[in-house]
Amino acid sequence: ILFLQEQLLGNDQLWNLSVIMNSNGRVYFVNHNTRITQWEDPRSQGQLNEKPLPEGWEMRFTVDGIPYFVDHNRRTTTYIDPRTGKSALDNGPQIAYVRDFKAKVQYFRFWCQQLSMPQHIKITVSRKTLFEDSFQQIMSLSAMDLRRRLWVIFPGEEGLDYGGVAREWFFLLSHEVLNPMYCLFEYAGKDNYCLQINPASYINPDHLKYFRFIGRFIAMALFHGKFIDTGFSLPFYKRILNKPVGLKDLESVDPEFYNSLIWVKENNIEECGLEMYFSVDKEILGEIKSHDLKSNGSNILVTEENKEEYIKLVAEWRLSRGVEEQTQAFFEGFNEILSQQYLQYFDAKELEVLLCGMQEIDLTDWQRHTIYRHYTRTSKQIVWFWQFVKEIDNEKRMRLLQFVTGTCRLPVGGFSDLMGSNGPQKFCIEKVGKENWLPRSHTCFNRLDLPPYKSYEQLKEKLLFAIEETEGFGQE
């Protein structure tokens, strides 16, 4: 084994470097000042001038060559350099472009795991004041705390949160904060129920604080792998991904406006005698206001020569009109929890699935990935259960799924990828109780307790009552 140690004076600092050859004949380097061991020669990388790590700290490297730091004092691991307070991941995870969606999700989950903090954080909220309680709790906690495992508590409900209560909290809170009733978001169009930021949100004087809170909340949902109740417009997802939006994105938000711009693009507006200027009118709370698309736009006539610029500017305006401050506040909160760069490999539709899950329920997939306890596939109660599921509409199927799992959304891989408190956990139906009991659920384990009912009518009545009337995690 070769061992070479050299001490040099440079830049007013003593360099103390060991060059060692291991038993396989490969040389590695030990910088005793910084307590770093690595394959690369630090002298060629300018690393010998770095400050030493604090006592009890060690720097290591992942298989991808990314540095991370081990605090042996507290037995924790982090990507945050204790000398600078900056993350070694500031430039984003160095992974190759991946085409397969499930592989992208696996990469993303890996990085979330790396960024997660040890222990858990308690979030106590009332169902009656869910919005305000959640706002106060999330905004009072540090971003680091919100990357810990979440322990959600609804006062008066004695269920322990092994993941199921948190799933329900994300689902219920998203339904609240994204409700157009609060004037923070609006539907993208008359027949488009996807959400976009409402330019009139300023009627709430604290709207920017709420957008920062919502940014944190949406990032938390992605970070912790939970689903929300409703989705955003595709252009909004593209903004989350830091991708440019343009004319084509208008088609999914406002087809009529999109088609009018396509007409302008494909026809000679001068021959048609169409008189337009680089200015548009917008209505907010019943008031019409004029907006110039460029400096002095209200005096600049749109011609065949400059209409491409007009189309580009008016499309950008339509997709971001009056929501610049709100968008900035949203992303301020979002990036505190999860930097947008970790989503760079997804496209807009993939991000929607990642955040909202699969919405259409595949009954065949559900049956294929269901397990039974004290029942068999041919038990009459199980046959009746699947008959019931076949007869109800998709909305009630989603309610049933939410009753058992805590959310009506499915992960990317469908029922085969359902998660429980200890990892993958298939949908389970267990024979529990007496025939006069209501069905009960254990959302942390994706388990339905189904009593041995004597008839299909009885099973149907009890299940409908359970999924439509039951709320909370209290157990009988």
Q: Give the angle subtended at the CA of 443 by the CAs of 384 and 115, to the nearest 5°.
A: 140
Q: Are 425 and 417 in contact (CB under 8 A)?
A: no
444 flagged as catalytic: yes
| C-alpha distances in Å from residue 413, one per residue of 26, 103, 366 | 43, 11, 11
Go through 215-228 and write b for each residue having 16 or more CB atoms within 10 A of its CB, e for each that does not.
bbbbbbbbbbbbbb
Distance between CA atoms of 147 and 295, rounded to whole angstroms?
Answer: 44
DSSP string, 117-159: -SSEEEEE--STTHHHHHHHHHHHS-TTGGGSEEEEE-TT---
Distance between CA atoms of 16 and 212, rounded to whole angstroms?
Answer: 47
Give me 162's structure tokens: 């092994």
Q: Are 179 and 195 in contact (CB under 8 A)?
A: no
Distance between CA atoms of 149 and 122, rounded to whole angstroms?
Answer: 9
Catalytic residues: 444
